Each structure stands twice: as structure tokens, then as C-alpha cells.
Amino acid sequence: DAKTTQPNSMESNEEEPVHLPCNHSTISGTDYIHWYRQLPSQGPEYVIHGLTSNVNNRMASLAIAEDRKSSTLILHRATLRDAAVYYCILRDVGYGGATNKLIFGTGTLLAVQP
């Protein structure tokens, strides 16, 4: 799987937007971009995924650069409950039998201040 680079930590204030960046300069044309997060003392939790176009769901938005070498997870209004480690993960589309496993990096630790 292609490598991703994320800042070790970020801080935000409650009710403000948060932009979490991820660089994946070696991404291949068949890699999906997935985001998971891990709240304190919990298992990882799916957030969002995309391939080329920007994506929105009830949790967040995913903005993907035109060259796909970077992406940004956007939390529109951070809450205290959003304090977590956020992981950007690339997954090969692999029609022929790509792995299902998730390969986690160190992620970005997001702190949300009241």
C-alpha cells in the first residue's frame, strides 16, 4: 500500500471547522482514500472514503486534490467528541483480489478545546 503522511497533532476550538491534511504523493490510480478515527480507549471507526471526487457524509467531508496526491478531511464544526486520532489510509481497488486489510499509520491526534 502507498504511504501517507499526516501531521502528528493538531488543535482546534470547539464549533470551529477543522481541516486535517494527508499527503499521498505516491498514490496509484487504483487507490481509494479512506479515513478512520480512533476515539480514546475505543476501536477505530470509519469516517469517509473517496477516489477522485469530493465526498460528503453526515460525519465529515473529504476534499481530494485534482492530482490526488493529497486530501483533506474536513470536520465542519468540531465538538469535544471529535477529539481522536485520525488515520488516512490508502486501499487498492484491486479487482483481482486485493487485500482487505487496513494498514494504519500513526495518524493525527486532534485535540479540541472548549
Name the residue among 77, 102, 78 with its Cα closest to residue 88: 102
Q: Single out the segment in contact with another protein by CB under 8 A; choices: 2-10, 35-43, 64-72, 76-84.
A: 35-43
Amino acid at 109: L
**Exposed e or buried b per residue across 44-58, where buried means at least 16 C-beta atoms within 10 angstroms of its C-beta:** beebbebeeeebeee
Q: Within positions 85 to 114, which residues make up the interface with another protein, using CB under 8 A?
A: 87, 91-95, 98-106
Contact between 9 and another protein by CB under 8 A: the answer reads: no
Q: List residues near another protein by CB under 8 A.
A: 30-32, 34, 38, 42-46, 49, 51, 87, 91-95, 98-106
